[in-house]
Amino acid sequence: MESIVFALLFIFAVALPVYSYSKRQRFRLPPGPKGLPIIGNAFDIPVGHEWVTYAKWSCEYGSDIIYLNIAGQPIYVLNSVQAINDLLEKRSSNYSDRMVMAMCHEIVGWGKNFAFMPYGDFWREHRRMFHQHFHSDVVSKHHIHILKQAKDLLGRILADPDNLTQHLRFMAGASILRVSYGIDIQPENDHYVGIAEAAVHSLALTGNVGSYLVDNFPILKYLPSWAPGAQFKRDGMKWREQVNRMFDEPFELVKRLMAEGKPSDSVTASLLAGLDERKDKPRQELETAVKYATGTSYVGGADTTVSAVATFVLAMLKFPNVQSTAQAELDRVIDSGRLPTFEERDSLPYVTAVMKETLRWHQVTPLAVPRTVTADDEYKGYYIPAGSLVIGNAWAVLHDETRYPNPGSFDPTRFLTSDGQLNKSAPDPVEACFGYGRRLCPGRHFAMDTIWLNIAFILTTLDIAKPSDEMGQPIEPSGEFTSGTLSHPVPFKASYKPRSKAAEVLIREPMFYD
């Protein structure tokens, strides 16, 4: 970095209290990379697939807790289900706050997402609004929109098999935009899907701790955007505009329609209609809470579904025996010429196990969003000071060989009993995939329903296989996944064929419930 950046770093480093680097002498801390004077482990933070490195360190140091220190900021990475449950679940009152990251939250503007908000009344207000429309008892009212988009996805895949990710984004975006804002999106190049995808891309790039130097040295955020070494500021300004548009534009559309006497059937309209009943806060403040709560729904719902269903398709390519077993179950339960329904889920335990294994095999968010410790604590004899960051490594938990033998294999039977029913005593991956304690994702029921139905529809109607190259040899998928806060399979090719003539007719016919 240019001289200005180095000068600022030097000033900041000199200002740091030296006592933070003698803590290892005064307090017992977990093992971890040794680090350097002043800057600590700033250059030890892994770049790309951090979750794998953290799990590797956990094995190398013989500890399920790894300690890092970045310029005085303590970071504790939890790599076991016991440590995560003991701290993030049982002591959730002390481990539910959030760190405000300079790049992601302040510069880019993702602080609007209530999943990233500090713990307190403001966060509770947003979560309460979200929860009342997405908890398990009411999510079924959204099933009609999930069904429509899952059915449309089949035709899109069959017509254009080389753009799976694009089709999945349309399916997920259409579902959540219809539920949240009452918006029926355009078949191609939809405006609202476009601005949301651009915004979410910035979250994937900036959401993990240490993704940008400014997160470790917040003083850098005061650099002018034109300064040498301030490309992060220029990128952040562009991304901030996209984030603002994602939250603002669909919300303002609903408000305008309501003002014109055309209220939409949507979560936003329902929440806005109920605001007059509340007199304890200014309406503008409550409207902002509605905007942030419903805007968060796109991030939480869309990308989870896209990554999970793409991961499922990848698994069917690599483990074709799983596909044939799931299809055999569907053929036994579902009458020919129709699609499965949510009501038949209990009769399809293997399909449900496929969904669970999809979530376990590779997580959308391999690292949980960092927590901030509210008060000094001690665990296993280790000192955890207030203000420390604590990160749950979901990938390490879901690839723990003691809980999931042969974790690299895609094996739905790990969630089944010997007679083929769901094993309620098997460790459920949902616990690690959707967060912990008071920060457990409130949209998980909607996400899991969407993932399950898409998996069931695809397995019922399509055979997924590896395509062939010009020499007739199968094209092997890389099986790689992207890095970042949100992780997706690297694009791959697949062949999709209707399982029968009846299946093809089913895919192409108009919506079965129209």
Q: Encode pLDDT of 63-78 as tens digits.
A: 999 999 988 889 999 9
Alpha-carbon distance of 292 to 114, in angstroms, equals: 7
Asked if residue 265 has pLDDT above 60, the reply is yes
Percentage above 90 pLDDT, the chain: 56
Kindly indicate the confidence band of residue 436, based on its pLDDT and cuts at 50, 70 and 90: confident
Tell me what the mean pLDDT of segment 161-186 comes to: 91
Best mean pLDDT range from 128-132, 147-151, 184-188, 225-229: 147-151
| More confident position, 84 or 130 | 84
230, amino acid identity: A
Q: Would you report the helix, strand and coil content of the chain in percent, each value rounded to 5?
A: 55, 10, 35
The predicted model gives 125-154 an average pLDDT of 89
**With 50 as the cut, is the pLDDT of residue 101 above it?**
yes
The mean pLDDT value for 323-348 works out to 94
Domain boundaries, the chain: 3-508
Express each pLDDT in 31-45 by its tens digit: 999 988 888 888 888
- What average pLDDT score do residues 164-178 get? 92
**In this predicted structure, what is the pLDDT of residue 278?**
55
- The pLDDT value recorded for residue 277 is 56
Three-state SS string across 252-295, please?
A: HHHHHHHHCCCCCCCHHHHHHHCHHHCCCCCHHHHHHHHHHHHH
Residue 511 has pLDDT above 70, yes or no: no
Supply the pLDDT for residue 9.
45
Q: What's the rounded mean pLDDT across residues 233-254?
A: 93
3 state SS of 328: helix
Please give the residue that has the higher pLDDT: either 14 or 499: 499
As a whole number, mean pLDDT of residues 122-134 equals 84
How many angstroms separate the CA atoms of 328 and 412, rounded?
14
Is residue 187 classed as helix, strand or coil in its secondary structure? coil
Looking at residue 16, what is its pLDDT? Answer: 43
Q: Does the pLDDT value for residue 210 go beyond 80?
A: no
218: Cβ contacts below 8 Å, ≥ 6 apart? 102
Q: What is the pLDDT of residue 11?
A: 45
Judge contact between 75 and 50, C-beta under 8 A: no
Supply the pLDDT for residue 19.
Answer: 42
Quick one: pLDDT at residue 280? 64
In b/e form, how buried is each residue of 236-264, taking b as 16+ CB within 10 angstroms? beebbebbbbbbeebbebbbebeeeeebb
Q: What's the whole-number mean pLDDT along residues 76-93?
A: 95
3-state secondary structure of 344: helix
Check residue 490 and give its pLDDT: 94
331 against 288, higher pLDDT? 331
H helices within 62-142, ranges in order?
81-84, 121-134
pLDDT at residue 22, as a whole number: 46
User: How high is the pLDDT of residue 1?
Assistant: 46
* 215 vs 180, residue with greater confidence: 180
Residues 6 or more apart in contact with residue 299 via CB below 8 angstroms: 113, 115, 200, 203
Backbone angles phi, psi at 64, to 5 degrees: -85, 0
- Which residue is listed with tokens 């979200």? 130
Indicate the class that CATH gives domain 3-508.
Answer: mainly alpha
Residue 403, SS3 per DSSP: coil
Helix/strand/coil for 465: strand
pLDDT digits (tens, 9 = 90+) for 444-503: 889 999 999 999 999 999 999 999 988 889 999 999 999 887 899 999 999 999 999 999
Q: Is 441 annotated as a binding residue?
A: yes
Q: Is the pLDDT of residue 318 over 90?
A: yes
Q: Which helix (H) or strand (E) holds 301?
A: helix 283-318
Q: Is the pLDDT of residue 26 over 60?
A: no
CA within 13 Å, CB half, 367: 27
Residue with tokens 């490195």, as numbered in its chain: 53
Nearest-10 crossing angle of helices 444-461, 320-333: 90
Highest mean pLDDT among 31-40, 226-235, 251-260, 350-359: 350-359
Query: For residue range 357-413, what is the model confidence (pLDDT) as tens digits?
Result: 999 999 988 998 889 999 999 999 999 999 999 999 999 999 999 999 999 999 999
Number of Cβ within 10 Å of residue 511's Cβ equals 10
Taking residues 306-326, report their average pLDDT: 97
pLDDT of amino acid 112? 87
pLDDT category of residue 215 using cuts at 50, 70 and 90: confident
pLDDT above 60: residue 6: no
> Which residues partner with 40 through β-bridges?
36, 70
Q: What DSSP element (H or E) covers 383?
A: strand 382-384
